[in-house]
């Protein structure tokens, strides 16, 4: 009778690093296939309670899936139309904004000349050199833009199809995942699937509510200030806020620069920053903590690293998927004894801190989630 050999630490670590590297390579080269499926899984989890409710009304499975899916498409198209309409209004005013930016740029150059030894002539030379570099990279930028449009169209076409099929075959997919682990881990797999489904539902529904609230608060603040493009800037800031930490910083810079170009008052630009700061504080203290539970936490360091890794591997979609991915990964790590240390590393049991992303506890039996 042979005893089970305990694998040494270096062997476990090597397997984890190799697995992580293979996953990263797979995401880099297969993101056009993998990312739409991951977004479809999130959307399917969001629609699952509605689908189950309609199924209980004795509607057929295809109909109970199609009705909420069509509603979500209509809402998405409405948001896209609002954003496109606001962008077109902004584009129409670009010539006037350019003149205003030239004035602001000249004033900045004069101030910079007084503060340093660099003459305006040298500053203009630096600007011309930068423009020349951009011209040389124009073909690359056009290629990136074309690729982005192609990717967007791929999402528009594939996302509803994937979502429908995932919801239609959800029981088959669940049975497959359970059968894969027929080594005494079936119950553990069931718990992980149940908890992961609950997390995805809470995260997406909560994030939708939070984004709506942030958009409303931004709109109120910008409308009170009386700035141009108030709705556009409020929506832009709310959407960028979906990316933790980095998104709001980028949104603040963009909103303040656009306001500077469209307003004659410098104080208005400062007030735009103040409004965004106040909304961000309210969001951190009351919005995010109420999104997905109040027990197990993902710490700020793991969040930032996850977002940066997601962006490096998969771009903007990867940054958005980083948080639910980390939440599910923490559930798996907490359930697998060999990975508990990694789950502890991602967790945050301390009070206070920055923006915290919380998920439901796993210590108690998770509540059953409809399939």
| Among 32-41, 129-138, 159-168, the least confident range | 129-138
- Is the predicted pLDDT of residue 83 greater than 70, yes or no? yes
pLDDT value for 281: 83
Rounded to two decimals, what is the model's pTM? 0.69
pLDDT value for 71: 92
| Among 139-153, 188-202, 247-261, the least confident range | 139-153
- Rounded CA-CA distance 80/70 in Å is 15
Q: 31 vs 27, 143, 323, 325, CA distance in Å?
A: 5, 18, 17, 15
pLDDT value for 9: 72
Burial label, 186 (beta-carbon count in 10 A; 0-12, 13-18, 19+): middle
pLDDT value for 168: 92
Residue with the bigger pLDDT between 360 and 214: it is 214
Name the percent of the chain lying above pLDDT 90.
5
- Is the predicted pLDDT of residue 277 greater than 80, yes or no? yes
The answer to whether residue 107 is domain-embedded is yes
* Mean pLDDT in residue range 60-85: 86
pLDDT value for 164: 92
The answer to whether residue 337 is domain-embedded is no
pLDDT tens-place string over residues 299-325: 778 888 888 888 888 887 888 888 888
pLDDT value for 135: 46
The answer to whether residue 180 is domain-embedded is no
The answer to whether residue 358 is domain-embedded is no
Residue 165: band (very low, low, confident or very high) from pLDDT cuts 50, 70, 90: very high
* Mean pLDDT in residue range 144-169: 74
- Is the predicted pLDDT of residue 24 greater than 60, yes or no? yes
User: Are the beta carbons of 276 and 237 closer than 8 angstroms?
Assistant: yes
Residue 356: band (very low, low, confident or very high) from pLDDT cuts 50, 70, 90: very low
Of 313, 343, 308, the C-alpha closest to 328 is 343
SS3 state of residue 271: helix
b/e sequence 71-89, b meaning 16+ C-beta within 10 Å: ebeeeeeeeeeeeeebeee
Of 73, 100, 231, the C-alpha closest to 155 is 73
The answer to whether residue 102 is domain-embedded is yes
Residue with the bigger pLDDT between 298 and 112: it is 298
The answer to whether residue 174 is domain-embedded is no
Burial label, 251 (beta-carbon count in 10 A; 0-12, 13-18, 19+): buried
- Rounded CA-CA distance 241/218 in Å is 11
- Is the predicted pLDDT of residue 171 greater than 90, yes or no? no
Residue 124: band (very low, low, confident or very high) from pLDDT cuts 50, 70, 90: low
pLDDT tens-place string over residues 206-259: 778 888 888 899 999 988 988 887 888 888 888 888 777 677 888 888 888 888
Burial label, 180 (beta-carbon count in 10 A; 0-12, 13-18, 19+): exposed
- Rounded CA-CA distance 227/233 in Å is 10
pLDDT value for 150: 60
- Rounded CA-CA distance 184/199 in Å is 25
* Mean pLDDT in residue range 54-74: 89
pLDDT value for 67: 92
User: Are the beta carbons of 75 and 69 closer than 8 angstroms?
Assistant: no
* Mean pLDDT in residue range 90-106: 60
The answer to whether residue 218 is domain-embedded is no
- DSSP H helical segments within the chain, as ranges? 9-56, 61-92, 94-115, 120-136, 138-168, 170-180, 186-225, 230-240, 246-262, 266-282, 300-335, 340-346
- DSSP H helical segments within 226-288, as ranges? 230-240, 246-262, 266-282
- Is the predicted pLDDT of residue 141 greater than 50, yes or no? no
The tally of domains found in the chain comes to 1
The answer to whether residue 55 is domain-embedded is yes
Please name the residue that has the structure tokens 């796993």.
362
- Is the predicted pLDDT of residue 136 greater than 80, yes or no? no
- Is the predicted pLDDT of residue 31 greater than 80, yes or no? yes
pLDDT value for 339: 78
Of 40, 44, 36, the C-alpha closest to 370 is 44
Of 217, 223, 224, 277, the C-alpha closest to 249 is 277
Domain hosting 60: range is 25-168
pLDDT value for 220: 92
* pLDDT mean across residues, the chain: 75
């Amino acid at each position: 009778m042979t005893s089970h050999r305990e694998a040494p630490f270096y062997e476990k670590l090597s397997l984890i690093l190799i697995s992580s590297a293979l996953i990263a390579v797979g995401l880099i080269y297969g993101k056009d296939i993998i990312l739409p499926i991951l977004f479809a899984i999130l959307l399917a989890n969001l629609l699952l309670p509605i689908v189950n409710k309609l199924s209980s009304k004795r509607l057929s499975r295809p109909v109970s899936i199609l009705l909420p899916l069509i509603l979500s498409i209509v809402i998405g198209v409405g948001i896209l139309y609002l954003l496109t309409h606001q962008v077109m209004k902004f584009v129409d005013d670009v010539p006037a904004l350019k003149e205003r930016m030239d004035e602001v740029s000249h004033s900045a150059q004069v101030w910079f000349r007084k503060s340093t030894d660099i003459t305006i002539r040298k500053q203009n030379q630096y600007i011309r050199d930068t423009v020349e570099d951009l011209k040389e990279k124009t073909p690359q930028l056009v290629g990136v833009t074309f690729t982005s449009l192609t990717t967007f169209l791929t999402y528009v076409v594939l996302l509803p199809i994937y979502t429908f099929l995932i919801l239609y075959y959800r029981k088959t997919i669940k049975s497959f995942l359970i059968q894969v682990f027929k080594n005494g881990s079936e119950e553990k797999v069931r718990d992980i699937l149940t908890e992961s489904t609950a997390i995805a539902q809470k995260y997406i529904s909560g994030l939708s509510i939070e984004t709506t609230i942030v958009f409303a608060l931004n709109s109120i603040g910008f409308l009170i200030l009386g700035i141009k493009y108030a709705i556009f800037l409020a929506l832009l800031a709310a959407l960028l806020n979906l990316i933790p930490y980095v998104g709001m910083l980028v949104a603040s810079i963009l909103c303040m620069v656009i306001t500077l170009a469209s307003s004659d008052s410098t104080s208005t630009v400062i007030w735009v920053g103040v409004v965004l700061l106040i909304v961000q504080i309210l969001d951190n203290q009351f919005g995010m903590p109420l999104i997905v539970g109040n027990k197990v936490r993902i710490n700020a360091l793991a969040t930032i690293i996850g977002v940066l890794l997601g962006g490096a591997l998969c771009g903007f979609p990867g940054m958005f998927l980083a948080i639910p991915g980390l939440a599910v990964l923490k559930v798996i790590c907490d359930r697998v004894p060999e990975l508990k240390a990694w789950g502890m590393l991602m967790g945050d049991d301390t009070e206070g801190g920055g923006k915290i992303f919380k998920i439901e506890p796993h210590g108690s039996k998770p509540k059953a989630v409809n399939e």
